[in-house]
Amino acid sequence: MASYFDELHVEEDEMPTVRLERLTRETFRMLFDHDPARYGDIINFQNTPPASKSEIEKLKAPSFEELIDEQCRICLSQYQLNDKALNMPCNHIFHENCLKTWLEKSNFCPLCKFELKTDNEMYELYKQELKNRQSREDNIAQLHDSMFS
Amino acid sequence: MNNIATQRIKREFKEVIKSEELAKCSIKVDLIGDSYTELKGEIAGPPDTPYEGGTFFLEIKVPETYPFNPPKVRFMTKIWHPNISSVTGAICLDILKDQWAAAMTLRTVLLSLQALMAAAEPDDPQDAVVAKQYKEYPEIFAKTASHWTNVYAGGPNKNSEFDTKIQRLIDMGIERDQARGALSTYNWDLERATEQLFS
Ligand SMILES: [Zn+2]
Ligand SMILES: [Zn+2]
């Protein structure tokens, strides 16, 4: 399986902004290959980045029935009539205000850690590369199993 | 303090009071005054660990931005553990930092700390000295942690060998806690501890 970065080959006559992007990606890859754990420190993931605004806007309100007798797990209060709530893609529901305050700080679901996309390109690359490594390892494991079982 | 933080703590307070763990005397939260910004936590040392039989008190400070930011928690009871500073009680635990999530509660925090006491993470230490001893001399670590539990947390295991060594340093004019700290640091090697204290 080709690396995510191998697919990003860029031509000489590319736009300056693309070249800049490629440079960041290459720097990223260098750092990541060198020491993935420290890479996290370098770009400072003390807190995961906020969710992208456009992702937050895509969230839908749950139906009224879904709120009956349920509790928002951020503020721990029961939903009242006319309370505004939002549904995460993982189907966890929170008050609109509670959830938005949280997502402006961190991009994951407070209950199950499901991640929304962020606007932080470096963070997205980091996640992608972790995923690629995992699937490479899975492929090798599968290949090994099919050969020796 | 804003409304959501206060309301949240009040609700949680009831939750911990009603919880099974409280009935089993394993965790507890008390208010300090009636501000809801400062609380006192209590954890029983987990069974089959050097902390068994001890009671550990925690300082819990609730920020105005709670539950969007984690509470600030510190051990008030002195403890010998790789992920807790033996000097300040500061804790290295991911959920108190970048792994905090707004749906976590004081109960989650106290239970996680209890789990941390039962299973240290020496590769992510808060106290490098303790972590080194934990990895290199696990038996000395266990005895030291058990001794600290006895002295500071009311644990059952007295260690007369350690007490004798501490007394030797006290006789030389060293303060008791400082003597214990130095001996713990130097794996109860009286000579090295003395050397370090008088250098
Ligand atoms: Zn809420
Ligand atoms: Zn979720």
- B123 near A CB under 8 A: no
What distance in Å separates the CA atoms of residue A65 and residue A79, rounded to the nearest whole number?
11
Query: What residues 54-83 of chain B have any CB closer than 8 A to a CB of chain A?
Result: 67-69
What distance in Å separates the CA atoms of residue B106 and residue B150, rounded to the nearest whole number?
26
Q: Least CB-CB distance to A74: which of B12, B67, B69?
A: B67
Specify if A66 maps to a domain: yes
Report pLDDT for A126.
79
What distance in Å separates the CA atoms of residue B101 and residue B37, rounded to the nearest whole number?
19
Chain-centroid distance of CA B126 in Å reads 11
Report pLDDT for A18.
43
CATH number of B3-118: 3.10.110.10
Q: Least CB-CB distance to B68: which of A105, A108, A111?
A: A105
Query: What residues 34-63 of chain A have any CB closer than 8 A to a CB of chain B?
Result: 45-48
| B163 compared with A4, residue with greater pLDDT | B163
Read off the CATH number of the domain in which A89 is found.
Answer: 3.30.40.10
pLDDT surpassing 60 at residue A39: no
**Chain A / chain B CB contacts < 8 angstroms:** 38
What distance in Å separates the CA atoms of residue B143 and residue B187, rounded to the nearest whole number?
10
Q: Global pTM?
A: 0.81
Specify if A65 maps to a domain: yes
Report pLDDT for B15.
75
Known catalytic residue: B25? no
- B103 near A CB under 8 A: yes
Question: Domain spans of chain B?
Answer: 3-118, 128-198
What distance in Å separates the CA atoms of residue A118 and residue A48, rounded to the nearest whole number?
9
CA distance B63 to chain A (A): 15
Indicate the pLDDT class of residue A8, thresholds 50, 70 and 90: very low
Catalytic residue among B73, B92, B106, B153: B92
Among the listed ranges A90-94, B121-125, B153-157, B170-174, which one has the minimum average pLDDT value? B121-125
Domain range for A82 is 47-135
Mean pLDDT of chain A: 77
Among the listed ranges A34-48, A101-115, B25-39, B67-81, which one has the minimum average pLDDT value? A34-48
pLDDT tens per residue, range A61-102:
999 899 999 999 999 999 998 899 999 999 999 999 999 999
What distance in Å separates the CA atoms of residue B146 and residue B159, rounded to the nearest whole number?
9
Q: Which residues pair with B42 in a beta bridge?
A: B28, B57
Indicate the pLDDT class of residue A20, thresholds 50, 70 and 90: very low
Give a three-class secondary structure readout of A64-132: HHHHCCCECCCCCCECCCCCCEEECCCCCEEEHHHHHHHHCCCCECCCCCCECCECCHHHHHHHHHHHH
- B167 near A CB under 8 A: no
- A98 near B CB under 8 A: yes
The two beta strands, B72-75 and A93-95, are: unpaired
CB within 8 A of B179, min separation 6: which ones? B166, B169, B170, B193, B197
pLDDT surpassing 80 at residue B163: yes
| Percentage of chain B modeled with pLDDT above 90 | 79
pLDDT tens per residue, range B14-45:
777 677 777 777 898 888 888 889 999 999 99
Our separate counts of H helices and E strands in chain A read: 6, 2
Report pLDDT for B20.
74
- B7 near A CB under 8 A: yes
What chain B residue is nearest to A99 in terms of C-alpha separation?
A: B102
User: What would the two tokens of residue B158 be?
Assistant: 């007295």
pLDDT tens per residue, range B87-97:
999 999 999 98
Indicate the pLDDT class of residue B80, thresholds 50, 70 and 90: very high
What chain A residue is nearest to B13 in terms of C-alpha separation?
A: A76
Specify if A112 maps to a domain: yes
Ion ligand 2 neighbours, Cβ < 5 Å: A 90, 92, 109, 111-112, 114
Q: CB–CB of A76 and B101 under 8 A? A: no
Specify if A124 maps to a domain: yes
Q: CB–CB of B103 and A106 under 8 A? A: no
CA distance A87 to chain B (A): 15
CA distance A112 to chain B (A): 9
| Chain A CB contacts of B102 below 8 Å | 74, 98, 102, 110
pLDDT surpassing 90 at residue B179: yes
Total domains in the fold of chain A: 1
Q: CB–CB of B8 and A46 under 8 A? A: no
pLDDT tens per residue, range B152-162:
999 999 999 99
What chain A residue is nearest to B65 in terms of C-alpha separation?
A: A101
